[in-house]
Structure 1
């Protein structure tokens, strides 16, 4: 039911482990690198 879905969404997310944080940081760095490379390619 809708109530079950709401309850599930309200539960706080478990704290991120160190590995998860490292993976997120690596992913954001990768995305930034992609954005920079596309910007540089457009300027060439």
Structure 2
């Protein structure tokens, strides 16, 4: 990875409902993407 690179482009697999809406627009994963997915998971567990 070069020093001027700020993200990794990748294709995420899984359920679209767990994916950060920002990722859907930009296809760039950020730490906020993980927080969003984890929050959705907690919501699913809590409402079960």
Structure possessing the higher relative contact order (Cα contacts under 8 Å, 6 or more residues apart): 2
Structure having the higher helix fraction is 1
Structure with greater Cα Rg: 1
| Normalised TM-score (structure 1) | 0.46
